Chains A and B, each alone.
Chain A
């Protein structure tokens, strides 16, 4: 059974098809590990053994009736931002600490259709606002590589669950780096697709023009299999894109001869720590050995991505989070006077400090007299940032760089200074602003044996190519197979 915790999704699928293991047995294996290890890593907020095993039995029954499928019977964890019918769905907040969702997010229901069993709900920064998981109402997630360090965020519970082998694969979301940065810090593979590829329906909104769901797993091949089930048009999401169905595994085995890798000089300047730089350079050498060529490109406005993001994302968040008013769902203050007082007390008590901070920023930049100077200016800069990528992709097929400037940092190291924390997403935010797909792939270990992530950015809708580029690297390296000691 122990090799099952390290198995790829296709190995698990083969074992299930060959009746070497049932979905109930496989789910039990992971539930037992969660019971033993979750008190240490705090990756899961909610586990419901009976519900999980009932789902697993249903998948075994579907298989017994002759159904097959690459994900049928495999258990996944879901980031607690995804509404899951009958499960507590908290978004890492006191505001939703009592919210049992009456419906499934589209991503969740599509995975269910594909036969995925829900193992539980994964911890995250409150309302996905954070880069370290320290803003969760349910306490910080510990990085399985060093439990004194953060797992990254906001999909920190998702990342830690994979690293500690508490799930074969998990869902995540990425608004400014929330899949790629924790994937880098925990040594796993994560993909944020092109904006609009995965439905946002039932995914609790943070910044709607940036939010995108994606797979997080051990390998690129696993991510491709997951994306096949997660992607697709959804009429319930007004920004979901109507496109032909794709098989994201189709190009995995293509050789990389002639691949042109663009290296933005702005990503290789100061700011990146020496150990991260060394591992990213080694990965690039490996790509050259695989037949790729590297060329320098420029993203001249990328330095403006963090400032523009911290106007646009809070502006959208202040609007989205106005729905939490203590009337229709979630927390309501126990004592209040009039209606206005009920709103103000509910929101003061229900939201944590980082969420309040961003609501205040957003409210300010959208308020009368400041809109043009901040919000409109940020949107214009967003256009410049997107145009930089269009220009860069004229001379390369993919762009590479670090996913995060540092490896996992210690608890408390950045939480006292919001600006310092915000800058840890300096390499990931520009792709969200442009709507481009981005990945993080493990490429070695830095100081203190902490994982380093290589970022791969593709052109619009080139997920299959990025997965090919990542998969070929994973055929000649073993970084993605490494697992923390003591787990």
Chain B
């Protein structure tokens, strides 16, 4: 497998990272090197092996449906780039 420039641009778009043509070319070469390493996995026959998604086999805990957290909106919004009246400001989405 080998990634081309167009694929790298597409992945970057999916990841919401702006990437210049020069960066895309460097990324393509480096990603192809890394995928060369990753591809060694493909030689392994894993038929019938259950995927391991987590380090320990635990089931999701349940808790009582009660309020446990206090409202700390002011503290959390103090670190935001732009807020107004308790809301996060972003560029206009709907014209």
Contact of A196 among B58, B72, B76 (CB under 8 A): B58
Q: Is the interface of B mostly helix, strand, loop or mixed?
A: loop
Residues of B within 8 A of A (CB): 3, 7-8, 11-19, 27, 30-31, 33-34, 36-42, 44, 46, 49-56, 58, 60-61, 63, 72, 75-76, 78-82, 88, 90-93
Count chain B CB atoms within 10 A of each CB in A103, A330, A380 and give the residue with the most: A380
8 interchain residue pairs of minimum CB distance: A435-B55, A379-B51, A195-B55, A380-B46, A332-B81, A348-B18, A383-B52, A344-B18
A138 at the B interface (CB under 8 A)? no
Contacts A435-B55, A435-B56; A347 near B80 (Cβ below 8 A): no
Cα–Cα, bound, A372→B87 (Å): 40
Check if A69 is an interface residue, CB within 8 A of chain B.
no
The residue from A342, A347, A432 contacting B91, defined by CB atoms under 8 A apart: A342
Q: B90 — which chain A residues lie within 8 A by C-beta? A: 327, 339, 342
Alpha-carbon distance between A301 and B40 when the two chains are bound, in angstroms:
12
Q: How far is the CA of A194 from the CA of B92 in the complex (A)?
A: 46
* Contact present for B46 and A304 (CB under 8 Å): no
A373 an interface residue at 8 Å Cβ cutoff?
Answer: yes
- Among A107-115, A117-125, A415-423, the one that faces the other chain is A415-423
Contact assessment for B34 and A380 in the assembled complex, using a CB-CB cutoff below 8 Å: no
Q: What are 19 A-B residue pairs whose CB atoms fall within 8 Å in the complex?
A: A194-B56, A306-B37, A330-B81, A341-B91, A344-B16, A345-B18, A348-B17, A356-B19, A360-B17, A367-B14, A377-B41, A377-B42, A379-B52, A380-B52, A381-B41, A381-B44, A418-B33, A419-B36, A435-B56
Q: Does A351 contact B (CB under 8 A)?
A: yes
CB-based nearest A residue for B68: A235
Interface residues of A in 417-448 (CB under 8 A from B): 417-419, 422, 432-435
Q: Which of B12, B34, B88 contacts A419 (CB 8 A)?
A: B34
A325 at the interface (CB under 8 A from B): yes
Contact among B17, B54, B63 with A239 in the assembled complex (CB-CB below 8 Å) = B54
Residues of B within 8 A of A244 (CB): none
- A/B pair count, beta carbons within 8 Å: 170
Residues of A within 8 A of B61 (CB): 235, 238, 242
Q: Which of A311, A345, A377, A434 touches B55 (beta carbons < 8 Å)?
A: A434
Interface residues of A, Cβ cutoff 8 Å to B: 98-100, 102-103, 194-196, 209-210, 235, 238-239, 241-242, 301, 303-304, 306-308, 310-311, 318, 322, 325-332, 336-345, 347-348, 351, 356-357, 359-361, 363-364, 367, 373-374, 376-384, 386, 417-419, 422, 432-435, 460
B40: chain A residues within 8 A (beta carbon): 303-304, 307
A109 vs chain B, min Cβ distance (A):
15
Give the CA-CA distance A99 to B80 in the complex, in Å.
9
Query: How far does the Cβ of A168 sit from chain B's closest Cβ, in whole Å?
Result: 30
Cβ–Cβ contact A383 & B49, under 8 A: yes
Residues of A within 8 A of B58 (CB): 196, 239, 241
Distance in Å: Cβ of A145 to nearest Cβ of chain B: 30
Known: A304-B44, A357-B30. A367 touches B11 (CB 8 A): yes
Q: When the two chains form their complex, are residues B55 and A210 in contact, meaning their CB atoms are under 8 A apart?
A: yes
- Interface pair A329/B41, CB less than 8 Å apart: no
Q: Which residue in chain B gives the minimum CB-CB distance to A363? A: B15
Contact A343 B16 (CB under 8 A): yes
How far is the CB of B33 from the nearest CB of chain A, in Å?
5
Q: Which residue of A lies closest to B55 (CB)?
A: A435
Check A344–B17 contact: CB distance below 8 A. Answer: yes
Please determine whether A373 and B46 come into contact, CB atoms closer than 8 angstroms: no
Closest to B57 in A: A435
A379 to B50, CA, bound (A): 8
A380 to B15, CA, bound (A): 25
Docked-complex contact B17 and A351, CB < 8 angstroms: yes
Question: In the complex, are the beta carbons of B91 and A339 less than 8 A apart?
Answer: yes
Across-interface contacts of B93 in A (CB, < 8 A): 338-339
B89 closest partner in A (C-beta): A327
Residue B38 contacts which of A102, A344, A374 (CB distance < 8 angstroms)?
A: A374
Q: Is the CB of B31 within 8 A of A380?
A: no
Q: How far is the CB of B67 from chain A (nearest CB, A)?
A: 14
Contact residue among A235, A330, A363, A432 (Cβ-Cβ distance under 8 Å from B14):
A363
B26 nearest CB neighbor, chain A only: A353
A209 contacts B50, CB within 8 Å? Answer: no
Nearest Cβ on chain B to A91's Cβ, whole angstroms: 14
**A-chain residues with CB within 8 Å of residue B44 when the two chains form the complex:** 301, 304, 377, 381, 384
Distance from A138 Cβ to chain B, minimum over Cβ atoms (Å): 19
